[in-house]
Amino acid sequence: MEQTGRVVGILPNGRAQVEIQRRAACASDCEKCGGCSHPEQTMLVEAPNGCGAKVGEKVVIEAHTASILSIAALVYLMPVLLMIACYFVPVPGGEGVRILCSLAGLAIGTALCMLYSRRMKKNRRVLFEIRPLRRG
């Protein structure tokens, strides 16, 4: 996954802050549709500045698709799988208790995803790379 952005800041440890235009899954043709809630929203992304880009320079920011897909699988699947698994835990009390157990599994899965997200931010795991924009 690649996107063009503009470097807006140089951070310590060889990192850069890049401003990119948020795109929707519908190819971002908002002038035709008008259904999106964020047609002109921008995002700031931190990435290692291996190419030595300077503030104001246009760059291509590339996402490591495998990392993003594994994180998406974790975030979407873990809470649901824990919810289903906790429903089948043998507990006395009937259907109402099973439903409460499954809701507890959903809450635990969501909490685990939040902890993982905080740990990733703290460790500054590399998900993006910057490279110069090729002209021509």
DSSP letter string, 19-59: EEE---TTTT-HHHH---S-TT-EEEEEEE-TT---TT-EE
How sure is the predictor about 28, in pLDDT bands with cuts at 50, 70 and 90?
A: low
Range of the domain at 73: 2-132
Q: Which two tokens stand for residue 51?
A: 């190419």
Q: Which of the four pLDDT bands, split at 50, 70 and 90, describes residue 23?
A: low
Q: What is the mean pLDDT of the chain?
A: 79
**Taking 70 as the threshold, does the pLDDT of residue 37 lie above it?**
no
Distance CA 27, CA 3 (A): 12
Percent of the chain with pLDDT over 90: 20
Chain-centre distance for alpha carbon 110: 15
- Overall domain count for the chain: 1
pLDDT for residue 126 is more than 60: no
pLDDT in tens, 65-101: 666 677 777 888 889 999 999 999 888 888 999 999 9
